[in-house]
Structure 1
Amino acid sequence: MTDIASLTKIYSRRRFACLFFSLVVTMVTAPVLRAIGLNTRPLEVVLALNMLAAVLVTLFRFGTWVALGLLALLVVPRIGYTLMGYQPLLATSQGVGALICLVSVGVMFGYLLREGTVTSERIYAALNAYLLIGIMCGLLFCILEEHWAGSLSLQGEPLARSGESPLWDTIYFSFVTLGTLGYGDIVPVYGPARALAVAEAMFGQMYLVVIVARLVSLYKGQADRKDLGARDTAAGEDKTGSQPSRE
């Protein structure tokens, strides 16, 4: 029990860092596994666990019942789809996953904008929010492609193929759009997909500008307060040292 308590304490102090590295490893591993012909379905489970971790990191601080409700909406439809193969259940699970990402980004964004010391955890929270934006839009692109085949095109053909989930392709396209790289291998064709791509590209750039500016201003304010405190301390010592001694 002591070891578990110790691990829990460590995780609570470094929860944003743990989530960041877990997200990065998951998204980098998926294309590698696909390239060597291995099944990426287990990584979808890992991605779901990452979203559950995002709930644990953020929502439990603001409402346990809200967090538990979102967890149930994410897990139960996914289990139902696995058992019954009913497609709307998969879309429900993906939609709830996108909602979890959106709420988690909002909570992290509020944490980033408020006054406080610029710590490594705050920086990791900024990075996590950026990654969750990409994952959220990737889930939305996947829903669009699964329900309106041809919303995204890969070299002139619909992205969704029979028997294959386009999830990792849509997440890849989402991050290409978020970073405004514009490779051109996957392109949005229909209106909703194009609208989402435009919104993601604009928000991604605005997010970087706002967050970098905010972190820099917080760091500068922190440094200025330290300098002011050091000057006040030095002035106090000089004043004390300059007073004549009384006998």
Structure 2
Amino acid sequence: MGRTISAKNNFFYLTASLVILLISATLTQALSGSWFDWVLKGVTLFNFAVCLISLQVDKVWFRFLITVAIGWGMVSVGKVFFPSREMDAVVLALMLCFFLGTFKIIARKILFTGSVDINKVVGSVALFLLLGLMWAMVYLIIMEFSPQAFTGMTQQPWGENFANVTYFSFVTLTTLGYGDISPLSEVARVAVYLEAIAGIFYMAIVVASLVGASQQHRGEKQDPP
């Protein structure tokens, strides 16, 4: 993998791994069983690995992301022997930290910097997917401490709720608002409207970034040496 991923195609791999994670979450819901929960965990670790390899970050951020990924793996294994709501909350918080760190790194690489190519466009898709996944983690953490925070979802292990919460997150992010799942608690409502605002601003910022970077690159080409 390390030989094929480069700065010209890294966001293709990253976006593909995020899509695989979303699909595996749906399969986890469709095919019940503890073994499939481990498949979801394996796909999550695979996603972490692809992020670490494809982003090619500096040592500080690499150490941060790999520490979070290792911590997530250790807590996930520990939860098998010491199952508790607190352990689930830690697992979700570590996933949120990893996605948040990945989001920040990608944003620095593609927003308002350099020329626009297909890899950067795909990178903006990865940013959108990460934004939805981050809020999905927030909703899952809320449900760990307030199981009745949302209508349309029942209390069950976070892996089994992952598909429903992710679906709700992207519906909120795009401001579709189907209404089959809705927030009940005040904390959940605040999280939901903040995500809706973030989704609107994300679209505006990405379009402005890509257009601005393209015009700047075009102007640099036209300037005489």
The answer, yes or no, to whether TM exceeds 0.5 is yes
Residue from 50, 55, 63 that aligns with 2:47: 50
Provide structure 1 residue ranges, at least 5 long, that are not aligned to the other structure. Answer: 1-6, 234-247
Given candidates 161, 174, 188, the residue that maps to 1:179 is 174
Between the aligned partners of 2:2 and 2:159, the Cα distance in structure 1 is 38
Counterpart of 2:151 in 1: which secondary structure?
Answer: strand
TM-score, normalised by the number of residues in structure 1: 0.79
- 1:122 paired residue number: 120
1:212 aligns with 2:207: yes
Deviation sequence 1:88-128 (CA, Å, 0-9, x none): 12210110110111111112112122431112222222111
CA offset digits 1:40-73 (Å, max 9, x no partner)? 4212431343134334444742414323321222
**AA matched with 2:188:** A
Q: Contact 2:173 / 2:199 at 8 angstroms: preserved in 1?
A: yes
Which deviates more from structure 2 when the two are superposed, residues 161-170 or residues 13-22?
Answer: 161-170
The one-letter code sitting in structure 2 at the alignment partner of 1:170 is: V
**Identical-pair percentage:** 22
Question: Are 2:23 and 1:28 equivalent residues in the alignment?
Answer: yes
- 1:104-183 aligned at under 5 Å gives the runs 104-154=102-152, 158-161=153-156, 165-183=160-178
**Aligned in 2, Cα 1:178/1:49: closer, same or farther, shift over 3 Å?**
same
Q: TM-score, normalised by structure 2?
A: 0.86
Aligned pair in 2 of structure 1 residues 78, 59: CA closer, same or farther (>3 Å)? farther
1:15 aligns with 2:6: no
Distance of aligned partners of 1:209 and 1:190 in 2 relative to their CA distance in 1, 3 Å threshold: same
Residue of structure 2 aligned with 1:89, choices 68, 87, 106: 87
Q: Secondary structure at 2:176's aligned position in 1?
A: coil
Q: Distance in 2 between matches of 1:163 and 1:121?
A: 33
Structure-1 separation of matches of 2:81 and 2:197: 39
Residue 199 (structure 1) aligned to one of 194, 208, 219: 194
Secondary structure of 1:200's match?
A: helix
Partner deviation per Cα, 1:116-157 (whole Å, 9 max, x = no partner): 111222222211111011111111101111221111111xxx
Once the two structures are superposed, the pairs formed by residues 219-238 of structure 1 within 5 Å of their partners are 219-226=214-221, 228=222
Structure 1, 118-127 or 169-178: larger mean CA deviation: 118-127
Q: Which one of the candidate residues 70, 74, 78 is aligned to 2:68? A: 70
How far the C-alpha of 1:180 sits from its partner, in A, is 0.8
CA RMSD of aligned residues (A): 2.4
Partner Cα separation in structure 1 for residue 81 and residue 107 of structure 2: 37
Please identify the structure whose Cα radius of gyration is greater. 1
CA gap of 1:71–1:164, structure 2 versus 1, over 3 A, is closer
Aligned residue pair count: 220
CA distance in 2, matches of 1:150, 1:68: 34
Checking the alignment, whether the CA contact within 8 Å between 2:139 and 2:165 is kept in structure 1 is yes
Does residue 188 of structure 1 match 2:186? no
Q: Which has the higher contact order (CA 8 A, sep 6+)?
A: 2
